[in-house]
């Protein structure tokens, strides 16, 4: 009996330890975003202040780096999501030669270490004579985000019943109308999830960006350069704001999904 009671506490205890381990860096970042640090370092607590939150752009280069990351992440996400959705739909709905090879090839960027992909792309761009900058970063980000989009949307396509699309065609709807009126709304939750994942991967990426950035400075590169003397409080402000925004998006999505389910149950 005592051994059984002890085993009941092992899993909750392990879960609490694991959760605390994951949350400690996030809590540290949020707490030190309110640190009243006057110098370049932000490793010692010097008092509480809201000044960094209201004047985050006072640190030279930080807002430019964040803007670059948002721009690159937005463009990369749009391209990767559009291409990935089309590829995922084709892999599930159509039969064609080399289908298995294409599906396997899409998993290679996910299994390839980022340092290998980053160095390989840098060599490719150099041999092509392309100058490093926004274009090379976007092309690199699209390449490794595409696989994650395909995998996410493909899982959603596989859950769709083809009978729904056949019913639309039986009612004399054109292929484009069937896609936009039936298929796309059903795929939209998966597409949104894939887009959010692609944007998070692009905004967060450092290794591939480092090899292909050239003179362009992104937020991860700014953090890497600043880390030698301690990440400034302004960088913690941006990181905290991104984390809080992501949590709000997840909560909003979950609440909206629950409300839609309640409406459907009420109609039934």
Instruction: Convert the pLDDT of each residue in 80-135 to its tens digit.
Output: 999 999 999 988 888 878 788 888 888 888 888 888 888 889 898 888 888 888 99
Contact present, 199 and 74 (Cβ < 8 Å): yes
Q: What is 62-211's CATH number?
A: 1.10.3720.10
Residue 122 CA to residue 120 CA, distance in Å, equals: 5
Domain ranges (residues) in the chain: 1-54+217-268, 62-211
Alpha-carbon separation of residue 157 from 70, 153, 180 (angstroms): 29, 6, 14
Contact present, 207 and 3 (Cβ < 8 Å): no
Q: Provide the 3-class DSSP secondary structure of residue 151.
A: helix
Alpha-carbon separation of residue 107 from 86, 234, 245, 257 (angstroms): 16, 37, 30, 30
**pLDDT tens digits, residue range 7-65?**
677 778 888 898 888 888 888 888 888 887 766 666 677 788 888 888 878 777 888 88
At residue 153, the pLDDT reads: 92
- The CA angle 78-83-84, to the nearest 5 degrees, is 95
């Amino acid at each position: 009996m005592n051994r059984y009671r002890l085993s009941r506490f092992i899993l909750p205890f392990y879960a609490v330890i694991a959760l605390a381990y994951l949350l400690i860096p996030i809590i540290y970042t949020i707490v030190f975003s309110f640190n009243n640090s006057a110098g370049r370092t932000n490793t010692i607590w010097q008092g509480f202040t809201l000044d960094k939150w209201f004047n985050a752009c006072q640190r030279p280069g930080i807002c430019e780096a964040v803007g670059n990351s948002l721009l690159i992440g937005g463009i990369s996400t749009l391209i990767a999501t559009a291409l990935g959705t089309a590829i995922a739909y084709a892999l599930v709905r159509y039969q064609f030669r080399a289908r298995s090879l294409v599906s396997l090839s899409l998993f290679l960027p996910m299994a390839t270490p980022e340092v290998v992909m980053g160095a390989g792309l840098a060599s490719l761009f150099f041999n092509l004579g392309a100058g490093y900058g926004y274009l090379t970063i976007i092309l690199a980000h699209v390449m490794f985000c595409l696989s994650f989009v395909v995998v996410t949307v493909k899982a959603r396509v596989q859950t769709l019943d083809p009978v729904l699309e056949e019913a639309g065609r039986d009612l004399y709807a054109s292929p484009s109308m069937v896609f936009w009126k039936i298929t796309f709304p059903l795929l939209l939750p998966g597409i949104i999830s894939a887009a959010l994942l692609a944007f998070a991967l692009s905004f967060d990426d450092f290794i591939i960006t480092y090899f292909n950035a050239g003179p362009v400075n992104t937020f991860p590169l700014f953090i890497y350069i600043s880390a030698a003397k301690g990440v400034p409080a302004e960088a913690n402000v941006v990181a905290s704001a991104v984390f809080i925004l992501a949590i709000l998006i997840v909560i909003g999505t979950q609440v909206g999904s629950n409300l839609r389910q309640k409406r459907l149950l009420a109609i039934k």
